[in-house]
A and B are shown apart, each in its own frame.
Chain A
Amino acid sequence: MSDINTTKTKIRVLGIGNAGVALLKKLNQLGCHNAELVAIDTDLKTLNDCALEHIFPCGGNLTDNMGCGGDAALAKDAALANIARLKSYAENAEIVIILTSLGGGTGSVIAPIMSKLACEGGAKCVLCFSILPLSIEGTARAGLAQKALAYLKKHSNASISLPNDIILAPKKTPLKEAFDAANACAAKAVLAMLEMLEQKGVINIDYASFYKIFEKRNVDSFFAFGGGMGENAIDDAVEDLKDCPLLANKIPHAENMLINIVCGESLEMNRAQLLLESLKLNFDARGRVGFGVVVNHDFDSRIEICAIGTNLEELSNVDVSVKTERVDATPMPTQDKPNIENPTTVSNENISVAGIEQFSDNVKSAKLTAPQGVSSEILKAPHRRATTWTPEKPAVQPPTQVANPPFPVPQPAPVPAVEEQPKKRKGFFSFGRKSVPEKEQNQHAKQEEFVFVDKSQQRGFFADTQPNMRNDEDLDVPTFIRRNIKINL
């Protein structure tokens, strides 16, 4: 156990709970240099095994350093006992990335607390990657996971949930392999972002634009990955990305997004451009789009894409549930287990979580539209690209079905999907709103494409020469275009 330095670090990655620490370990193995990795768990053994510099066993005497065995109340007590220390881990960092797996005691309780502390501690960007429990693990864990997830979403700039059921989709893979694959997938996503920020890639983004992409808190986010190989690597990769089970067959309308591409040395400029272009078009990105390209010498013709972004419309989790529901039609659990303590009741002490009521409201409202399915009894996860049914229908219908009945929409109601439906019918003022009809969206997409091609191809006289890269800029493109200097004629 070592003390964390109090000078302001740029990036801190917190691995919370058993699986969170495992993720962190994976991240460390993959070679993460520019971030401070901190492992937090109630179980001392996990921490000792992880071989990380900063570890914090928060169990102490409460749990005999043994882990809290899925007991949320115990985890809460442990967190309260060590609140000052936890605070020190959450503060003094610009970007806080929380890796955890929800459903257990430590992850479900301490992760939301840390995200809240990080937000209060002045972090400019809080990102959460949480692995949701397997459906076979039971409804109790699923319910706890949902609560925690809703809370994480509220206190983070992007909260990405990776339902284990879906990641482990190919059923025949050995269990260990499947878990490793799931961990590697999340770790890679985090690493990709860190590498972009570390300026290791061919194209990188800086901190400022990164913050801009994840500007708002409490928004829906999506995360997807895909890959391709061979001659049609680009098309395959894009298709694979669109088919990524985490998107559940519905391509989100991204507001802001961050795309990371790992490719071999042979990827040509025009092909790379084509790829970025088609991604932007496919995701219909309206706001800021950050690109990162990393060249991996082992990749040859292989391409891997990883996209993280914020949605215009509420969806990703909805569709996960919808889809899985379609697949195996298992009934969803509708009631929370009463015996599970609300993880945020921590608030009545010095951490001050404003309004427990509000939180529980949010949980309910989130439940209306979103994450149910993940929590539900998903026995069979869909295979990638194996789906036969069309994406449009289920994407629109289920939220309305679930949304209208018994629960009243709460006052703060941060659930756009519920609000949008009626507005759509009001007509007159609704055309410019988020829920634009399909046609309108396509028009948008076309224009965006034009702008994008324009900007990077303005090489004119130098069009047939090698790009003239310095500091990630092509010097052959006129300076005033790159600097956005307006020329008035």
Chain B
Amino acid sequence: MSDSKTIAALEIGTGKMQVFIGEIVDGDKLNFVGSGQATTEGVKKADIIDVRKAAAQAQAAIVMAERSTGVSIKSVCLGVSGTHIKGFRNIGSASVSGADGIVRQEDVERAKDDARSKILTDGKIYIHRICCGYYIDDKFTLEPVGKYATRIDAEYWMLYGDGEKLSDAIHVVQSFGLEVQYLVFSALASALTVTSAEQKNNGVLVVDIGCGTSDYVLYKYGKPMQAGVIPIGGDHITNDLSFGIRLSRANSERIKIHCGKATITEDERGEKFWSFGDKQIGDKKIPMDAVNKVIRSRLEELFLLLRAELTDFIGNDSIKEIVLTGGTSNLNGICELATAVLELPCSQGKFDSSVRPNLRHQEFSTALGLLEYARNQEANKKASGSIFESLTKIFKR
């Protein structure tokens, strides 16, 4: 008899609340069951500013998903993002204790404990403490156990966020009696869906450009090396456009989606289009060049900020490609612009063939990734019991 567990992935995005329900069979197979969606209220720049409104919309999405599938949800895998999320590199070290100079598992554990034990102040809490690899006598390795060395260093990327804001997000879920089983940084989830194991091994930068923020994670040797948030998203482009071409927010959003281009050709530069298209009073012709200038300046800034954060990796061949995902990655010409600014080949995320065709949208990459993440965790639990340490610290209030 097969053992199955239902889990819901909830992404509290700036643009929408997305719920996917999946069933994990035998601890390692994932069946997609159904979905629910609602527009978001009370969230700006991925930070929850009105818990009540956000909770109401999240509940609407969950109820919709439950109704459409007939499954009752007990626990949730929650994707988080926000301008408050930041990260830093931390290195813990231990000397090799054995007389023979061979690194043992205990030494590795001590080095890891040393790195993980850094205490945060000001009400900040860790979301993920990611082990990026080890150095034995300053030489990088992924498998230190069994090698000769005098000292072992464990390198960690510590991703933390504001305790209050994270508990707001958890509160949204708990307010209607659900349990948060996993708390996952959204870019880590997105990366699971849009990149292959090979890409992660070679070095790939995944940038999830959402509505409120752009979350990135950098993979190398199959492990996340760095993750963080650039507080610029699609909403910023819309806002810039409403200033730049002096139209309402709704119209700017429409123009961004239909006519917005991050890079344009010389021919398109002279083109103009009607702002409303109904030839009524107030309808005006807008030059393509103006729209492009506004969008390009904003996105250029985004990629430059990203470049500044990744100084350790860019320019020394550690990253082989960039994958863009998230709703804003659908903008025309954004990949070309990223290629130009970051000087690395860039493409939109591609989905695995196991993903249903109707779900292969960049907007869904985070929610799909959350299910995948939950499946990985369950599989790890099943396969190795307590030997493997779970990547996440499960957030308990």
Contact = CB atoms under 8 A, between A and B. Distances in A.
A485 B45 contact: no
A483 B305 contact: no
B305 A478 contact: no
A75 B238 CA distance: 67
B44 A465 contact: yes
A459 B236 CA distance: 9
A488 B289 contact: yes
A485 B293 contact: yes
B340 interface: no
Contacts of A485: 293, 297
B47 to A, nearest CB: 8
Interface string B214-257: 00000000000000000110011011101111100100000000
A479 B49 contact: no
A489 B243 contact: no
B158 to A, nearest CB: 20
B243 A481 contact: yes
Nearest to A463: B239
Interface in A473-489: 475-476, 478-481, 483, 485, 487-489
Nearest to B286: A489
Contact residues of B: prevailing secondary structure? helix
Contact of A480 (B45, B83, B231, B294): B294
Given A468-B231, A475-B232, A478-B244, A487 B294 contact: yes
B297 A483 contact: yes
A480 B244 contact: yes
B283 interface: no
Contacts of B298: 478-480
A478 B287 contact: no
B142 to A, nearest CB: 33
B290 interface: yes
A479 B238 contact: no
Nearest to A481: B243
B242 A479 contact: no
B290 A462 contact: no
A487 B45 contact: no
Interface string B306-341: 000000000000000000000000000000000000
B290 A489 contact: yes
Given A470-B305, A475-B232, A478-B244, A489 B49 contact: no
22 contacts: A459-B239, A460-B249, A461-B235, A461-B239, A461-B242, A461-B249, A465-B47, A475-B231, A475-B232, A475-B301, A476-B239, A479-B298, A480-B244, A480-B294, A480-B297, A480-B298, A483-B297, A485-B297, A487-B245, A488-B289, A488-B290, A489-B290
Interface of B: 44-45, 47, 49, 83, 231-232, 235-236, 238-240, 242-246, 249, 284, 286-287, 289-290, 293-294, 297-298, 300-301, 305
Closest 3 CB pairs of A and B: A478-B240, A479-B297, A461-B239
Interface of A: 458-462, 464-466, 468, 470, 475-476, 478-481, 483, 485, 487-489
